[in-house]
Amino acid sequence: MKKGINLNKRTIGPWANFEFALRKDEHAGFIEWYSSHSFRLKKTPFSNHYSSFLYVVPKEVKNIPEQGLIRVKTGELHKEIHLPPNSTYGHYSNQAYIVEGYELLNIDSLPKPRISKDELLFYVAEEWAGADDYPLFRKEMAYNLLSCQKDFFGTGGIGVETFAPTGTKQTMKFLKSSINHLLPEDFKKHNDIFEYDFIEKEGDLKITNERRNNPHSNEISFNDMSKLPTNLSIQIPLIIPDDFPHKSISYLNPDVLDYQLSALLFKPVIEPNLIEEFTNLAKETSEYIDKNYTEETLLIDRLSLIKIACASCRLEMKNKLDEDMLPGIKDELLGMFKEYAEEHRDRMIAGGRRYNIPITPLPLRLNLTVDANKFYKEIFAVDKLNEEIGVTWMSTETLKQRPNLKYINDFTILNSLTELNNANLILQRKNYSEILVVDYSK
């Protein structure tokens, strides 16, 4: 079996179940506009596999979506016959259908992966022989790979910081190798959909910072294995237990690929009223850990619960994040950081050096542009005033009236807000007309 898979170079597979079904459904796929009146259908958003036809939209056909999954109702087929010189064999070229209508398809209607959730959790830690005794380890690995979508909180992705309390550099190398074997080659480099980065040295940290501040990809998950002071937002502390014997697997499991690609299609909807509930629960979790397990402030990323909940939706193949998920996600977050805090405490009692606690990015340490830094200071000042009168979301129009921002143009304002959003320092809604500070110092 191949050691690595390049999604764009596939000819006979391996295909995810939904990709295989769409390849058989001649006029169904993900719409990609070719011009203002014509489009093509991609059979998968993860590679350049298209339907053979161009679809031409006449004026009388209205409201075809800009993007999404559709099935086209076709009319007449137009095609050209191409006959090479001195040949009796020809072929059709420039085949185009006239569009008579379309049907919107739901992601839920696509075939599900070949394996179950429990089987996926087994396979993501298959190389770690003792993983059965550590269910959180399996979940943490899965969430890191399934990621979360780009949304009101900015660039998507799940950040992990890995610890091997009694392990060696070889343990970290083995973890990197085992994760590498769970990913197609396309996800290990720049692409529009999902990117996975490893941070092992200062140069890797700088590159990941730059990619998240100016993202080419909608989702960037990463694993910080460097022990360097970090300004990246960490959602999960991944601890490799001491008694983990392991075996080596040097190929990508096509069933894991099937599950991951299917899960990445889901963009879970988050109800607005749940946003503050999730951020407050993260704060409560942090306070509980501080009170019971550490003697210092452990600043848990306020977006941890939201991002983990989105990854959990993908694991469960759900399209909506609802209130029923809150208790389970809170228990998981508590378990993850409790495990971390216990390891940290034991290490300190033994006289070892302090771990690099996985904390959220702090503004003074962020590698932001001058404009973004200026905006963050002003936003923070307005947020303090709003807090006194019980207001949470602030209007961008009100912000623009601040004396220090009054003469800055709209282009610079939008760029600065986008940069802060990508850094997970502010939340936004209604196309940046309203913003909310994610204040980790409260």
* Tokens 């200062």 -> residue: 202
pTM of the model: 0.79
* Tokens 């936003």 -> residue: 379
* Length reported for the chain: 442
User: From edge to edge, which strands make up the β-sheet containing 434-437?
Assistant: 394-395, 434-437, 426-429
Q: How many CB atoms lie within 10 A of CB 74?
A: 16
In tens digits, what is the pLDDT along the chain, a chain of 442 residues?
456 789 999 988 899 999 999 999 999 999 999 888 899 999 999 999 999 899 999 988 888 888 899 999 999 888 777 667 777 676 666 788 999 999 999 999 999 999 999 999 999 988 887 787 777 889 999 999 999 998 877 888 998 888 876 667 788 888 898 899 899 999 998 888 899 999 988 888 888 877 776 667 889 899 988 877 766 777 888 888 766 767 777 788 899 999 999 999 999 888 777 777 777 777 777 777 767 665 555 556 677 788 888 999 999 999 888 778 888 888 887 888 777 777 666 554 444 433 344 434 344 445 667 777 778 878 877 777 766 556 678 888 888 888 877 777 888 888 888 888 877 778 887 778 888 877 655 5
Q: How many CB atoms lie within 10 A of CB 82?
A: 10
Question: Which residues is 436 bridged to in the sheet?
Answer: 427
Torsion region of 332: left, alpha or beta (phi above 0 gives left; psi -120 to 50 gives alpha): alpha
> What is the number of H-type helices and E-type strands within the chain?
12, 14
- Percent helix, strand, coil in the chain, to 5, is 40, 20, 40
Return the CATH number of 117-349, one of 3.30.360.10, 3.40.50.9100, 3.40.800.10, 3.40.50.300.
3.40.50.300
SS (H, E, C) 161-184: EEECCCCCHHHHHHHHHHHHCCCC
Buried b (16+ CB within 10 A) or exposed e, 400-412: eeeeebeeeeeee
**Class (C level, CATH) for 369-437:** mainly alpha
